Chains A and B, each alone.
Chain A
Amino acid sequence: MTEFSGQDVAHLAELSRLQISADELEQFSTQLPKIVEFVEQLREVKLGDDTENIVVVDLQALRDDVEGTEHLSMEQLAKLAPDWDAITNQLRVPAVFGEADNE
């Protein structure tokens, strides 16, 4: 069985930008190995000679000049932003780097 230490789960949470509680950490450390053990049966599949990946539908080029296509206005987008500077029409977010990062 694939081992998952609490540290591994915490690392995955960090990579996923997820904040998880101590209870969740404990719960996921037990559950994730079981799920991974289950999906490991995929190794047993005998793949045929044709291993080319199939895409169910052919992708079409997206067009935005089709008549009737509506676009969202700046005002609509601004309404969805948690912090919008109406003077400069810019989205405001917290600093990417804190003081500690600049030292």
Chain B
Amino acid sequence: MSRADDYLAKIKVEKLNAFRFVPDEPLTIGDGELSDVSFAVKDNILIKDWPAGAASKILEGFVAPYDATVIRRLKKAGAVFVGRTNMDEFAMGGSTENSAYGVVKNPWGQSTVPGGSSGGSAAAVAADLCDVALGSDTGGSIRQPAAFCGITGLKPTYGSVSRYGLIALASSLDVIGPLARSAEEVEKVFAVISGKDYLDQTTIDYTYAPTEIDFSTLKIGLPKEWWDLEIDPEINTVIRTFLDWLKKKGAQTVELSMPTLPFALAAYYIILPAEVSANLSRFDGIRYQKSVIGAKLIDQYKNTRALFGPEVKRRVLLGTFALSVGHYDDYYEQAVKVKSQITREYKKVFEQVDVILGATTPTLPFKIGENAQDPLAMYQSDLLTVSANLAGVPAISLPIGFSQSGMPIGGQITAAHKNENIILALAKAYQKETDWHTRKPKEIDE
């Protein structure tokens, strides 16, 4: 029995609801540097001839007619695919409670959420149901679930990984990235999936080159807008212990200010819904199999789009509002200006320091249902992650400790455009001396 068969057998009986589709046999085609590495793939990244639904009823029955570029590259490198993972519908959410197919449970505490929107991917890695999972990150959807599930997740530089074959959420922010236990595995996958793609006009010329960390010259930025925030006290303690480790290694710390950072979340919740309202207009009951017939064409649109879940509808309405006459200048135009100002602040800061450090999330994984009725409370879980998407810079979340209650805590390292090698080298150096990333939830400890 191969490793992949082993995983498949476990996936078929898993109780976390982490998977949306499980094949009869593992899928593998090529042979290369990722041979024998088993992948679970978020339900919004297309794999030819496999169902793809972004965990939405509106895509029920849709089978992908082609491979996403990342899948094509992984297949060529010998990757083995063992299933498709559950997620928040169309990647809208921070808890995976918005899936039309039920909530995913966090393997570290099954009454808590795994984070989102790549919650199924993070839970699958943490529960040892695959080696690596692919996710997508528009405002924190790889890093936040990675933090909640005690694993490593990379949100790459915008444009470094092709979005061709990714079901779009907000096209100016979306990026595909890997989740795995260690930064070493994440790096191996990122090296394969990154690079220019003629099928995505936003991809950049980029060849990943690993590097080593020289702590004696490393400068770490600590934005006061993050470090002065009131976050969970246990996270606060753990992130300071991580900072102490970096200082002991010889790194220099620089306290700095990014005054527009506190407005990132508000800008994000205008830009994202605006792009969502445009991107999701394609789901009209004509192009993607699922259709609810109406007497007239407009009835068919509306009847079919009634299949969207409440969070999707809420964001579409908000986006339509922000883009409508009379509100466009006040909201959308202003949000785009704020996004640019945040990008300028990141650029300026990276002239001074190599990386920026902070917690990934302001809270520990919350209980299932705790924020379900309060969208604003749910949006707060993106507080520390959205700015990297607005500026297009790479950021990683890595496990740096646990709470008293045994829930994982993540630290976030951000670098300038195309500097994935620095954050990955730093994460690898930390993981050489710590074992947080190798720990497994008790229930599945073998």
Query: Which residues 1-23 of A have a CB within 8 angstroms of B?
Result: 9, 12-13, 15-20
Chain A residues closer than 8 Å to B90, beta-carbon distance = none
For residue B283, which residue of chain A has the nearest CB? A17
Which B residues are in CB contact (< 8 Å) with A40?
266
Q: Which of B28-36, B187-195, B332-340, B361-369 is near enough to bind chain A? A: B332-340
- Inter-subunit contact A50/B331 (CB<8 Å): no
Residues in A with CB closer than 8 Å to B286 are: 81-82, 91, 93
A93-B297 in contact (CB<8A): yes
Q: Which of B157-173 contact A (CB under 8 A)?
A: 158-159, 172
Q: Which of B295, B302, B375 contacts A17 (CB 8 A)?
A: B302
Q: B65 in the interface, Cβ–Cβ < 8 Å?
A: yes
**Given known contacts A20-B313, A51-B340, A76-B65, A98 and B296 CB-to-CB distance under 8 angstroms:** yes
A contact residues around B305 at 8 Å (CB)? 16-19
Please determine whether A12 and B317 come into contact, CB atoms closer than 8 angstroms.
Answer: yes
Least Cβ–Cβ distance between B63 and chain A, in angstroms: 8
Q: Which of B158, B302, B392 has the most CB of A within 10 A?
A: B302
Which residues, 283 to 301 on B, are CB-close (under 8 Å) to A?
A: 284-291, 293-301
Q: Which listed residue (A20, A42, A79, A94) contacts B294, Cβ 8 A?
A: A94
B270 touches A12 (CB 8 A): no
Once bound together, how far apart are the Cα atoms of A76 and B300, in whole Å? 22
How distant is the Cα of A30 from the Cα of B290 in the complex, in angstroms?
A: 31
Decide if A39 touches B313 in the complex (CB within 8 Å). no
Whether A82 contacts B285 by the Cβ 8 Å rule is yes
Residues in A with CB closer than 8 Å to B343 are 54, 56
Complex CA–CA separation, A38 to B284 (angstroms): 31
Query: Which of A12, A31, A57 has the most CB atoms of chain B within a 10 A radius of its CB?
Result: A57
Q: Which residue of B lies closest to A48 (CB)?
A: B341
Known contacts A35-B269, A57-B204; is-contact A96 B296 (Cβ 8 Å): yes
User: Interface range on chain A: under 10, 10 to 19, 20 to 34, or 35 or more?
Assistant: 35 or more
The answer to whether B321 and A12 have CB atoms under 8 Å apart is yes
Bound-complex Cα distance A95 to B293 (A): 11
Q: List residues of chain A with CB within 8 A of the CB of B431.
A: none
Complex Cα distance A95/B297, Å?
A: 6
CB neighbors of A among B14-28 (8 A): none
- Does A66 belong to the interface (CB within 8 Å)? yes
**Contact of B263 with A by CB under 8 A:** yes
Residues of A within 8 A of B (CB): 9, 12-13, 15-20, 24, 27-28, 31-32, 34-36, 38-48, 50-54, 56-57, 59-63, 66, 69-70, 72, 76-77, 79-83, 91, 93-98
Using A18-B308, A94-B294 as known contacts, list a sample of 6 further A-B pairs with CB atoms less than 8 Å apart, ordered by residue number in A. A19-B303, A28-B314, A28-B317, A54-B339, A69-B199, A94-B295
Q: Footprint of A on B, CB under 8 Å?
A: 62, 65-66, 158-159, 172, 196, 198-199, 201-204, 259-260, 263, 266-267, 269-270, 277, 281, 284-291, 293-303, 305-306, 308, 310, 313-314, 316-318, 320-321, 324, 330-331, 334-341, 343-344, 375-376, 379, 391-392, 417
- List of 3 A-B pairs having minimum Cβ-Cβ separation, nearest first: A56-B392, A82-B291, A19-B306
